Amino acid sequence: MIKTDHLCKRYQSVTAVEDVTFEVRPGEVLGFLGPNGAGKTTTMRMLAGFVTPTSGRASVFGHDVVSDPLAARQSLGYLPEGAPSYGEMRVNAFLAFIADLRRLEGPRKRARLQHVIERLQLASVLDRPIETLSKGFRRRVGLAQAMLHDPPALILDEPTDGLDPNQKHEVRTLINEMAREKIIVISTHILEEVAAVCTRAIIIARGRIVADDTPLQLAARSRYYNAVSLQLETAAQLAEARAAVEALPAVAQVEVSERDARLTALPRAGASILQAISDLARSRGLKLKELHLESGRLDEVFRTITA
């Protein structure tokens, strides 16, 4: 279990992290969201033992990160922001170096090395100096380094940054696979990633936690939650459709996009409007290209909370 208790970090005049308290249990994938400079990286650095908290406590499986740092670090795998590594080293030498410091030996060392090399598809670059690798490969070397000793908890600072869509998908699959028995904390500013891998999301703004919920529940806070979006064949019917939809009692507001003849109806709180709008379209003879129910927009929630 990873636990933080009123964690704070202040630099001379700037407060980077203020009163952050949360608990993560095995099986959870926690996503840290927040604008740049909100305190995500500082919080993760405190968990990893790189930054010392100004006040408050943090512990990893009962080991306090300040008073018992080595035990805390041993149960963590950590991918620092930007996945730094020794550029002049070859990939295999770098991974062997990490394995040695992680006290992996003999057959287990070989097995773990083989596992991460396979999982992250590093076999083709093992003999190359890390500085000659592409950004995607470097990120994967960083991930391999973090999961090498099969730690019960992983802290990954922007694990998919710089990866192409295929590699992103690979890494997300990997995270999902490991998620069952591990604690995984990731930070990201890619919102789709939260929906794809996280069981829980914490939004941080200006150093404080402003939301802590499942991605679904967060999306439900959106004013687009349960909204109905319909696209017409032609823009000609737009004005008529708008007037009709606005007249429905359960509809709070209607947004119109002339460009693609789209109309989005936002429901009053708690109301369901899909059936009513679908009936209306049929009775009015509206020519529909598309009609769907929105599940809420995370980016809109994100903007509303962090602005």
Partner 1 sequence: MRNVGIILRRELASYFATPLAYIFILIFLVLANAFTFYLGDFYQRGQADLKPFFAFHPWLYLFLIPALSMRLWAEERKSGTIELLMTLPVKTWEAVLGKYLAAWLFTGVALALTFPIWITVNYLGSPDNGVIFASYLGSLLLAGGFLAVGSCMSALTRSQVVAFILGVAACFVLLLAGYPLVLDAFQGWAPQALVKAIASLSFLTHFQSITRGVLEARDVLYFAMLIGFFLFTTTVALDLRKAE
Query: Could you tell me whether strands 76-79 and 153-157 are parallel, antiparallel, or unpaired per DSSP bridges?
Result: parallel
Q: Does 187 bind partner 1 (CB under 8 A)?
A: no
Q: Does 82 bind partner 1 (CB under 8 A)?
A: yes
Q: Does 76 bind partner 1 (CB under 8 A)?
A: yes
Residues ≥6 apart with Cβ < 8 Å to 173: none
Binding to partner 1 (CB under 8 A) within 225-284 occurs at none
Considering the complex, state which of residue 7 and residue 273 has its C-beta at the smaller distance from partner 1. Answer: 7
Among 37, 67, 86, 299, binds partner 1 (CB under 8 A): 86
**CB of residue 25 to partner 1, shortest distance in Å:** 22
Whole-angstrom distance, CA of residue 76 vs CA of residue 45: 12
Orientation angle between helical segments 135-147 and 106-119, nearest 10 degrees = 140
How many residues form the binding site for partner 1 (CB under 8 A)? 28
CA neighbor of 191 nearest in space, from 297, 294, 113, 75:
297
Whole-angstrom distance, CA of residue 136 vs CA of residue 144: 12
Whole-angstrom distance, CA of residue 253 vs CA of residue 220: 17
Considering the complex, state which of residue 73 and residue 297 has its C-beta at the smaller distance from partner 1. Answer: 73
Q: Does 87 bind partner 1 (CB under 8 A)?
A: yes
Query: Could you tell me whether strands 208-213 and 200-205 are parallel, antiparallel, or unpaired per DSSP bridges?
Result: antiparallel
What would the x/- binding string for partner 1 be over residues 52 to 71, using CB under 8 A?
A: ------------------x-
Give the other-Cβ count within 10 Å of 253's Cβ. Answer: 12
What would the x/- binding string for partner 1 be over residues 92 to 121, using CB under 8 A?
A: -x---xx-xxxx------------------
Judged by CB under 8 A, which stretch of 83-91, 165-173, 184-192, 279-287 contacts partner 1?
A: 83-91
3-state SS of 176-194?
Answer: HHHCCCCEEEEECCCHHHH
**CB of residue 212 to partner 1, shortest distance in Å:** 25
Judged by CB under 8 A, which stretch of 44-52, 188-196, 255-263, 291-299 contacts partner 1?
A: 44-52
Q: Does 35 bind partner 1 (CB under 8 A)?
A: no
End-to-end CA distance of the chain: 31
Judged by CB under 8 A, which stretch of 86-94, 120-128, 196-204, 299-307 contacts partner 1?
A: 86-94
Number of continuous H segments (helices) and E segments (strands) in the chain: 11, 14
**3-class state of residue 285 by DSSP:** coil
**CB of residue 249 to partner 1, shortest distance in Å:** 57
DSSP 117: H
Task: Give contact residues for partner 1 (rule: CB under 8 A).
Answer: 45, 48-51, 70, 73-74, 76, 78, 80-82, 84-89, 93, 97-98, 100-103, 129, 145
